[in-house]
Each structure stands twice: as structure tokens, then as C-alpha cells.
Amino acid sequence: MITMNKVSKHYGSFQVLADCTTHVNKGEVVVVCGPSGSGKSTLIKCVNGLEPFQSGEITVNGVSVGDPQTNLSKLRAHVGMVFQNFELFPHMSIAQNLTIAQIKVLGRDKAEAEVKGMQLLDRVGLRAQALKYPGQLSGGQQQRVAIARALAMDPICMLFDEPTSALDPEMINEVLDVMTELAQEGMTMMCVTHEMGFAKRVAHRVVFMDHGRIVEDDHKDAFFANPSSERAQQFLAKILQH
Amino acid sequence: MGYSWNWGVFLQPSATGDDTYLGWMLYGFKMTIGLSLSAWLIALLLGALVGVLRTVPSKTLSGLAMAHVELFRNIPLLVQLFLWYFVLPELLPKDLGDAFKQSHPVVQQFISSMVCLGLFTSARVAEQVRSGINSLPPGQKNAALAIGFTLPQTYRFVLLPMAFRLVVPPLTSEFLNIFKNSAVCSTIGLLELAAQGRQLVDYTAQPYESFITVTLAYVLINVVVMFGMRWVEARVRIPGYIGGGH
């Protein structure tokens, strides 16, 4: 579904990504982790072309992201993305947040989009909030709406960029529950996250990054039981103690 | 101080005989409002466009927009007015320049003033709009693009509705300024409010009555604008939304 081949990116002389090669198969959940500044957020933003990269190739469902001929808007419409800071549109009600792109991008009619939006709101347990505005919801609720908004576009895969990092601890689980459910239904997912519990429970593979390089790319059991690099061992030792 | 007040002066027939002095004031009042509103329309539309262009990825477009802003905000308003009124008609193609010069003097003065004030203020509006767009969290643009919006759709549905809400207060200042700046247009002979005030002094030697009236008229206009913009601000307020960034 997603393939990356020797992707490199630099800002001036600063190398953000160096020869990153990995893939996400259909129905697979891949967790990307690593210390801050390791390039994991940049990597996931390259997948839907939000960040340009200078060399290498990324394909999503066979379409090359870096190719100037590619219609990126069309590609992105089917690649859901969830952000650290939710990024709901603050001037629209929750219902409008869920329908606007269905109507303007996919060309669905309003009634159809509303039905779809309400179904998804129901699914994330927020049907009662449909007429409120994002500023009136808690962080966890906003992030669940953001997931529903992405799902409303019938995505072929979902990208999560630290979806729980901006949340209060007690709201993290409500978001992880929604993500776990999605994964169990067979959604193709690439998640940048520090939630190692989630990774252990749900992921198929774990990609570990450091200084813009993919240091480990392994089955999750192998990664947690026996990380091959010293850097990953240190990282896990620090994270898992807590 | 020996000044003899005479508020009745406004009801006297004017020196030209076809109106009262109150009629002169009303003419100036209407001229100020007509000029400022039409210039504001230009400033708002052009300023919004230029402000948006300053934030787009294309270097050519943002460069052009920056040139517009720097040109119109760095030349004194009075100099700009003289350029529009005295110099530009000479630079136009001959037919067009002649047509302009043969039109009614009031039309010449009004058009020059409107274009001048409109473009001058558009540079300032553009800067407000640009800062409004730039003050939005960068994730908003990413979120809009990520969901499949094109760049124009991203501006239309996500960035501009928020940016305009944020810039209502600074735009209020610009709106107030355009009325006050319109007084400069009396220098090319346009009989707006300030010009009528001065003319009234020349004919009646009642400066206090005249300029108190002019001042109150400007205050009236600006109070109406302020309340109008406050109403707009309240109208577009978003439930639960506090501040700009994260």
C-alpha cells in the first residue's frame, strides 16, 4: 500500500531524512517511533506530500507521491491523516467539519455526507456533540472527531502523527481505543507514536528512527523482545520503565 | 474673548445663493461618505487579494504582492494624491487622458481621490490580512490539504474564514482611517467635509461653528463605523474559540 525507497530530505545542510526505506502492506499497522527530532513526523508527512523530499521514491497504492504529474489533492483525499493538534476547522460545527470535504472534494450531496458524518460520529461516541464547535470539546473528543473526519473520506489508509501527544493522560485511552478498533477492522495504518503499549497490542511492525535514519524495521515481537541496535535498546529501556 | 457665536449661520442662504450653509455642510458630509465607502470597497477587495497573494508559495505572485504593498504604503498619501490627480492623466494614452481632463471637474477629483485612497489603504489592509493568515496555526493548512482540498479551496474554506475573523479589529482601524484620510482630498479641490468647513469660514467668518460641526460630523461617522464593526465582530464570533494558536 505504501512503499518508501531511499527517501532523503534536507533543509540546507541539515539532513532530516537519510535513505529511508520501508513499506506498509495492506491491512498492516506500522508504528514509527524514536526520540524527538529523529525525523518520524517528517517521514509520515512525506507520505501524503505535505513535506517535499529531495530524493528517493514514495508510492501510495501505486501512485508516486514525488512525481510532479501526480494530482496530490486527489491522492490525499483517500489518505486519511490525523494530527497531533487535532486541527479541526474551528469556525465550523462538528457536523460541518465532517461533511465539508465530502461535499467539496468528493462531490457527495449534502444529505449523503450528513448521513455518513453522523454514522462516524456515532462510531466514535460523539453523536450528541454534532452541533457544537471544536472549541467546546475536550482534546480527546476533538481528536476522535478528527479521526471520524478522516474516515468520512473512505480512506484507503490512515496516517497518524503523534495523535495522543497533546492530550491529557486521562484522554489518551479514548483515542487509542478508537485507533485499536480501526486496526482490528483491518485498516492500513502508519502511526507515529510514543504509546508503546498501543504498539505492543496492535502493531504488526515497528520502525525505529534516529537522526533521520531508519535504524530498525522489524516485527513488533522481535523489536520489543530483542532490539538489534544499541540506540533502540536505550530508547526502550527508558520508555518501558515508566 | 469677544467672539460672537451665531449658530443661526447655517440657516442663512449661502454666498452663491442656491443653498444654505447647512446645505454646504451636508454636501460635504455626503461627499466624504461616498468617497470613503467607495475607496473602502477597493481597499478591502484589493487588499484581501494582495494579502492572500503575499502568503502563497509562488515566489512571483508573493513578490508582486509585496511590491504593491511597499509602493503604496511608503509614498506619502498627499504625494500619491498629487500623482493620481496631476501626473497620471498626462501619462495615460492621449485619448483616455483627454477624456479624463474634459470630464466634469468634480468627477476628475472624485475618481482620483477614490483610486488614491483605495490603493493606499489596500496596502494596509493587505498587511492585516497577511498577518491574519500567518497567525493561524500552520497545522490548519496541512489539515486542509491533507483532506484533499486544493490550495484555493484551502484558502476559501479554511484559512480565510478564520483569518478574516482575526483581523476584524485591525480592519476597524483602517476603516476609520479612510474617513479621516479622505480630508486630504480637499487639497485637490474636492469639496468634502473638511473643505466645506474651511469654505464656510471664508464666507461667514464663523470658524468655531464651522469646525465644531465638521468635527462632530467626523465623530458621528466614526461612532457608526465602530458600532457597525463591533456588530460584525459579535456576529462572526465562534462558540468556544479562544485566541489564535495552540
For chain A, first and last CA: distance in Å?
A: 34
HSE on the CB side for B52, CA within 13 Å? 18
Full-model pTM: 0.89
B244 touches chain A (CB under 8 A): no
Report the relative pairing of strands A205-210 and A213-219 from DSSP bridges: antiparallel
pLDDT by residue, tens only, chain A of 242 residues: 999 999 999 988 889 999 999 999 999 999 999 988 899 999 999 999 999 999 999 999 999 999 999 999 999 999 999 999 999 999 999 999 999 999 999 999 999 999 999 999 999 999 999 999 999 999 999 999 999 999 999 999 999 999 999 999 889 999 999 999 999 999 999 999 999 999 999 999 999 999 999 999 999 999 998 888 888 998 888 876 55
State ipTM.
0.93
Helices (H), chain B: 21-53, 59-74, 77-82, 88-91, 94-102, 105-134, 138-146, 151-153, 160-166, 168-181, 193-204, 207-235
Does any CB of chain A come closer than 8 Å to the CB of residue B86?
no
Grid cell of B35 as nine digits: 468617497
C-alpha cell at B169: 479589529
Q: Does A65 touch chain B (CB under 8 A)?
A: no
Find how far residue A156's CA is from the centre of its chain.
12
**What is the separation of C-alpha A11 from the centre of its chain, rounded to a whole number of angstroms?**
23
Q: In this complex, which of B143, B157, B238 lies closest to A83 when CB atoms are compared?
A: B143
CA of B242 to nearest chain A CA: how many angstroms apart?
8
Contact A52, A10 (CB under 8 A): no
What's the CA gap between A203 and A166, in Å, rounded?
A: 21
479612510: which residue's cell?
Answer: B178
Q: Do A73 and B148 touch (CB under 8 A)?
A: yes
B139 and A48 within 8 Å at the Cβ level: the answer is: no
* Percent of chain B's residues with pLDDT above 70: 98
A157-161 and A79-82 beta bridge pairing: parallel
A100 touches chain B (CB under 8 A): yes
Determine, for residues B241 and A90 on separate chains, whether the beta-carbon distance falls below 8 Å.
yes
CB contact under 8 A, A105 and B165: no
Dihedral, B210, B213, B214, B216 alpha carbons, nearest 10: 160
- Note whether B143 contacts A87, CB cutoff 8 Å: yes
| Contact status, residue A39 vs residue A22, Cβ threshold 8 Å | no
Which string of DSSP letters, residue by residue, matches B169-237? HHHHHHHHHHHHHGGGGGGGT---HHHHHHHHHHHH--HHHHHHHHHHHHHHHHHHHHHHHHHHHHHTP
Largest distance between two CA atoms of chain A: 55
Is residue A33 within 8 Å of A79, Cβ to Cβ? no
Q: Comparing C-alpha atoms, which of A61, A44, B62, A63 is closest to residue A53?
A: A44
The class (CATH top level) of B17-236 is: mainly alpha
**Contact (Cβ atoms closer than 8 angstroms) between residue A129 and residue A137:** yes
**A104 at B interface, C-beta within 8 A:** yes
Average pLDDT per consecutive 10 residues, chain B (246 residues; last block may be shorter): 86 85 94 97 97 96 97 96 93 90 93 97 97 95 96 96 94 96 95 93 92 96 96 91 55
Residue among B136, B147, B149 with most chain A CBs within 10 A, to mutate: B147
- Residues of A within 8 A of B147 (CB-CB) are 76-77, 81, 101, 105, 149-150, 153
3-state secondary structure of A112: helix
List chain B domain ranges: 17-236
* Chain B residue with Cα closest to A94: B239
Checking DSSP bridges between strand A157-161 and strand A205-210, what pairing results, if any?
unpaired
Distance CA A78, CA A105 (A): 10
pLDDT digits (tens, 9 = 90+) for A96-122: 999 999 999 999 999 999 999 999 999
- The shortest C-alpha distance from A222 to chain B (Å) reads 33
Residues 111-170 of B with CB under 8 A from A: 137, 139-140, 142-150, 153, 157-158, 161-162, 165
Helix, strand or coil for residue A10?
strand
List residues bridging with A60 in a β-sheet: A2, A63
